[in-house]
Structure formats: C-alpha cells, structure tokens
Amino acid sequence: MNPTSRRIFVVALALIAVCLASAARAQGNPPANAGATLFQNVRIFDGKAALLSAPSNVLIRGNIIERISTAPIAAEPGVTVIAGNGRTLMPGLIDAHWHAMLIRPNPAQAISGDVGYNNIAAGVEATDTLMRGFTTVRDVGGPVFGVKAAIDAGLIAGPRIYPSGAVITVTSGHGDFRQLSELPRTIGGMLSRMEQIGASMIADSPDEVRVRVREQLMQGASQIKLTAGGGVSSPFSPTDVSTFTEAELRAAVEAAENWGTYVTVHAFTPAAIQRSIAAGVKCIEHGFLMDEATARLIADSGVWLSTQPLPEALRQGFPPGSVQRAKADEVWPGIARTYELARRYKLKTAWGTDVLFSQVLAQQQGAILASLVRWYSPAEALAMATETNAELLALSGKRNPYPGKLGVVEQGALADLLLVDGNPLENIDLIADPAKNFKIIMKDGRVYKNAL
Ligand SMILES: [Zn+2]
C-alpha cells in the first residue's frame, strides 16, 4: 500500500468507526450491567404467596432469573452484585388496562394533534411508567405500535407493551369521537381523522369488522379490542346501549382466533357482556353495571374480568352538568359492586387503571393499585397486578410479543424485578411512592434505576 492509499484506508476505517459508534448511540445507552446480576439477601414476594420468602439470593443472567437460593450464590467475576440488605424483591408491576398514547394529550390533541409530537409525548410517559415500576402494560386502544417498537429497539426506556392497536367500534359507539358534522359516512369513502391515525376504527358489519381486526393483527396486535356497549367519555354512546351484533362480535373472534389470539371488549351492562360471551369473547373490560346472573355466567364460562378501581378524581374531572358527568355518576357506584361480585363468584380478575388524558392521574398508577385494599388483602392486590395479570397476557398465545414467564419471581422467568425498601405485603402504600421506595427497577435483565 502506498502512503496515499494507506491514508485513505485509515480515514475510511476512522469513518466506519465513527458510524458504528453513532449507530450504537442511536440504539440508546444500554446500562453497563446488562450481563449478570446477583441480588444478595433479599426477601421475595414471588407474585403468588401471601408471605415473603426467607432471606434469599437471586442470580439473573441475560434476561432470565437463573437461580434462587437461600444458600449463598458465589459471585463470578463480572457479575454485578446488589446487596439487598433484607429488602423485598418482587415482580415488576403489570397494568392490564392502559392507553400509552392517551395519557399526556387531551382528547382534541390525541385525535387532531401532530402525530410526531404525540408519539414523543407517549414515549416520555412510557419512561415515567417504567420508573413507576410498571414493567409491562396491556394497551387496550391507541396507535401505539411505533412507541412499542422504539422501546423494544432500546431507543427509549419504557415498559413491555401488549398492543391492541385501534379500538374497533360501531357508528356512534364508544370510541367514535367524530363530530355530527362528519356524518354521513360513505362505506369505502374517506376515513375520519381518528381512523387515519389508527386510534379507533368504525365497523358496521361483520365484513368491516374482519377487515379492521386483520389490519390490527397485521400491525402486530397481541389482542383485539372492541367496544360492545356504551361508555362514559365518548359523546354519542349512552351507557345502556349494546353496540355490535352477535354476528359482528363473532366475526372479530373468528379473525382473532385464526391468528391464535383473543378478543377483549369494553362492556358495562349485562346485555353487552352476555352477548359478547355468546360470541366467544375471552375478556370483559370494566363490567361496572353487571348483575348477579352475569357474574355467574362469567364464572361459568371461564371468561376474564379486567376491571379497575377508578379513582373518584376521574369522575370529578368530567364537568358538572355534562353528558359525560351524568354517565360517570351512574357508573361509579358500580365499581364497588363489581369488585364484590368478582370476589363472591371468584372471577378471574385482572387489574388495570384506564387512566385517560391526565399525566397527574398517571402518577397515581401505584396508588390506584394500592386502593384495591378496599376489597383485597395487600398480597391479593399485588398478586393480581403481577402473576394474575401475566396469566391474562399469556392468552395472546403465539401473538405474545414477549414469550416467557412474566409476573413471577421464579427460576426460568423473565427478569422484570423491583427491589422495594420495606415490605409491601405489610404496607401496600409503599408502591404509591415509587420514586422513594423502589430502589432498583429491572426490566428484561437490565437495571433502569439503581438508587442504592
Ligand atoms: Zn380504556
């Protein structure tokens, strides 16, 4: 090589090195200790038991909990050792009813605002969500595929997301946020703005339902969400109405099951719940206006109830005198009744928050979980937000974006872990203040927070 070509060669190498380095930066900064981690002297809440374990040691290798032992585990060279000092190690929390795209913006912004801005806002909120100890969310409506992909690629920190994609609704149903001036719709005509951005899709026949369901599956939906009855926040859906026909619901169930996954529905009333179950729906969201007979049907059919202890502040957030406030006033007393029925009939009950359009309320995510102690022991509430919610996530079958065991601390499970300063089984309010009490937050074997 002559001196000139050697110089060109060296410059070329340097350029390649710079490109590689910036490519690595573009992937986000992986925490240094992404290899193996050893938690020493921790007491474990495993996601199921009502008591903490004896003092134990837990070895994480890669993204898997490799070994749990009350006997010492030797720290090999290169293993990051964390002295637990008797603190509690528990599974990362799971919120089974979340809308990552609909927390920071207000409704008008969510639909009409700039899509790039909304995605960045959702990404920032996703990082906050992880920093509250929520390592997984089941997203039941919203154009979240981009944010999920950015998190999974390591561009930003955030929870695992089980996306539904667009909520599928009927004309006037819960999730139809169009103005009256946008009527009538021509089938096959131009899509409304909320449909263009993938927030919700309108389908008024089994054929239309099939198209919309398959479009969500094509984008990577892990489950499908339909609204089977009226809701509080949408302007033209009274709470008493049933929306989709049984044939339409069945079309969604068929399309989802052909892809190995399931349909969950927003439903309050006995009629909407019963019709959904008849059509093969596997999970009911909310259920706030159900009666005894419907609770029995849910129990007998083995269907999930995914419900939420909605905070009073959310009801009061609807302006007095508004249609939404009147609907909220009707629905709210049903929350306590629903939890009592869920207990009495031993329903498979998942927990979620359904926070919408409020960053302030999102900060209460852990407090909303802690509020379950109105009906459950702290251990039962925490088990619901870990092992039980993970069981619901597993219903996604082959469409599960994160195969592996979540929601438990056991050998072979995915390493989503929280190190808590104190015992949340004795004082569940610890989870309401994650900034103070969660000393370590680990997702997929990586430490995202270390405040020790
Ligand atoms: Zn919701």
CA of 288 to the centre of ligand 1 (A): 13
CA of 355 to the centre of ligand 1 (A): 7
Query: pLDDT digits over 194-206, tens only?
Result: 999 999 999 999 9
Q: DSSP of 132-183, one letter per residue?
A: TTEEEEEE-SSS-HHHHHHHHTTSS---EEEE--SEEE-TTSTT----GGGP
Residue with tokens 């089938």: 187
CA distance 272 to 246: 10
CA of 415 to the centre of ligand 1 (A): 28
CA of 30 to the centre of ligand 1 (A): 32
What does the block give as tokens for 366?
A: 């852990």
CA of 423 to the centre of ligand 1 (A): 31
CA of 354 to the centre of ligand 1 (A): 5
CA of 4 to the centre of ligand 1 (A): 65
Query: pLDDT digits over 380-413, tens only?
Result: 999 999 999 999 999 999 999 999 999 999 999 9
CA distance 93 to 88: 14
CA of 407 to the centre of ligand 1 (A): 22
Looking at residue 235, its pLDDT comes to: 81
CA of 265 to the centre of ligand 1 (A): 10
CA of 233 to the centre of ligand 1 (A): 10
CA of 383 to the centre of ligand 1 (A): 22
CA of 238 to the centre of ligand 1 (A): 16
Per-residue confidence band for 5, with pLDDT thresholds at 50, 70 and 90 = low
- Burial of 449 from C-beta contacts in 10 A (0-12 / 13-18 / 19+): buried
pLDDT above 50: residue 232: yes
pLDDT above 50: residue 436: yes
pLDDT above 80: residue 32: no
Query: pLDDT digits over 369-386, tens only?
Result: 999 999 999 999 999 999
Per-residue confidence band for 24, with pLDDT thresholds at 50, 70 and 90 = very low
Looking at residue 6, its pLDDT comes to: 55
Which range is least confidently modeled, 32-41, 168-177, 329-338, 368-377? 32-41
Residue with tokens 């837990």: 58
CA of 188 to the centre of ligand 1 (A): 28
- Which one is predicted more confidently, 224 or 26? 224
Per-residue confidence band for 2, with pLDDT thresholds at 50, 70 and 90 = low
Query: pLDDT digits over 287-306, tens only?
Result: 999 999 999 999 999 999 99
pLDDT above 90: residue 260: yes
CA of 48 to the centre of ligand 1 (A): 26
CA of 305 to the centre of ligand 1 (A): 13
% of the chain with per-residue pLDDT over 90: 88
